[in-house]
Structure 1
C-alpha cells in the first residue's frame, strides 16, 4: 500500500497521533510506594474526572515523609513484648579457706587462740595452730636473729611474770619479731626441775601474752639450750587496743 502524501496543513491536522502517556510526578510515586509497604493503599481508586495539566512544584523530603505517614497509628505499648530486666549474678559462695580465716580471726578477737604444745625436761615448744611450718622450722633452727633478751635468773615466779610481761609488751609495741628468754635449767630447784620453765610455757599461752605470741621453742646450745627460749611475736596490729596488760587480773604462778 502506498503511503499517503500530506500536501497541506489541513491534511496534517486530520492525522490522529496516539496520545503519549504522561509520567507521574516523583513525589507521588514515592508516597505510593511507602504507603504500599505500610498496607495503606486504597483498594479502589477513583479515576480522576479531569486532568490538571498545571505544572506542580516538587515537595521537599519532610512533606513527602508526612504524606506517607498519614493514617499510621503508633504501637500500643501494652501489646508489645515485655522484656524482663537482667537479674544480678549470684554472689560467689565463700570458700572453705575464707571461712577458716574468719573463724580464726573471730577466735583471736575473743582470745581463743589454740597452741600445739610439747614439754620435756630438755625440750619444749609451742606454736599457734595454722602457723607456717617453714617459719617455725626457722625459729627452731635459730636462723631468726633475736632482737632482745631477758634473763629471769634469781627471780621468783611473781617477779619473773612481771618482768616477762613488761619485756614482751615493749618488744611487741616496738615491732620486734624474735626475742630470747633465759629461764635457767632449774638444776638446783627441788626435784631438779625448773619451776620457771613450766610457768613460762603457761604464761605464754594465756592472756594477755597469747595475743602477741606466735611460737616459742627451746634455744640452741649456743644461746642457752634447755635453759632458754626463742619467742616469735606477731606483727603489731589494731587489735593491740584489745589486749589487757594488767598483771593483777591474769597473774598465775
Structure 2
C-alpha cells in the first residue's frame, strides 16, 4: 500500500521578499583648511585704506595745551627739583618766629592779618593728628601723610598736636622744635601757608594750627 505524502500546510504560504540592504552613509565632506591669520601689515593696510595725509593749510588748527603749559604730574624727583629751585630763588621761604611759649611761621608775602586770625583760632579746625608716643621719625612720616591727605581733601585748617615734651629727656619739647622746622621746609612747606601755636582750648603750646594751601596750587 502506497504512503500518502505528508501534508505541509505552509507550502502555499508566500513569504514577503527580503528588504534591500540600507545604503551606506555618505562619506563626510573634507574639512576646509583653517583660514590664515592676516599679518599686521595687512591689517594696517586694511584699516588705512582710502586715508590721505592732511595737508597743512590756513584752516588747520594745531592742538594747544591749557595756558600753554604741559599738564602737571607728580614724581618725587620733580618734587626735589622744585625744592631746589625754591631754595635757589628764595621763593616759598618762610618767616618763622618762636619763643619758649609759642611757634609761628608764614610764607613770605602772606598777609600778616591771616596769621593773626590763625593765631586767634578764627579758622575752623577740619582735622587733627596726635603725635603723642611717636618717635621723631614716626612723627615726621605721620605729619607728612596727614598734611598731604588733608590738602587733597580740600581742608584748609588742621591741628597738629605735638605735646609739651614733659615726659622727654630734660623736658625738652623735641617734636615741637622739629615741627617748626618741618612745616617751613621741604615736602611739608609745599602744603603749608602758615602755622601758629594753638589757643588753650585746642591744646595751647602743645599744638599748632596749620593753614593749608588750596589743593592743586
TM-score, with normalisation over the residues of structure 2?
0.58
Q: Detail structure 1 runs of 4+ shifted over 3 Å in the superposition.
A: none
1:178 aligns with 2:153: no
Aligned to 2:85: 110
Measured against aligned partners, the alpha-carbon deviations of 1:155-204 in whole angstroms (never above 9, x if no partner) come to 00111111111100000111110000000000121222110000111111
SS where residue 163 of structure 1 aligns?
helix
Q: Which has the higher helix share?
A: 1
Aligned to 1:204: 183
Residues 12-51 of structure 1 aligned to structure 2 (within 5 Å): none
Aligned to 2:43: none
Q: CA RMSD in A?
A: 1.6
- How many residues were matched structurally? 132
Shift of 1:108: 7.9
8 A contact 1:121–1:193 mirrored in 2? no
Whole-angstrom distance in 1 between the partners of 2:84 and 2:154: 20
Point out where structure 1 has 5 or more consecutive residues left out of the alignment: 1-106, 239-253
1:148 to 127, 132, 142: 127
Measured against aligned partners, the alpha-carbon deviations of 1:111-139 in whole angstroms (never above 9, x if no partner) come to 33211111222111011111012211110
8 A contact 1:153–1:184 mirrored in 2? yes
Greater RCO structure (CA 8 Å; 6+ sep) = 2
Residues 130-145 of structure 1 aligned to structure 2 (within 5 Å): 130-145=109-124
TM-score, with normalisation over the residues of structure 1?
0.50
Whole-angstrom distance in 2 between the partners of 1:171 and 1:111: 23
> Which protein is bigger by CA-based radius of gyration?
1
8 A contact 2:83–2:186 mirrored in 1? no
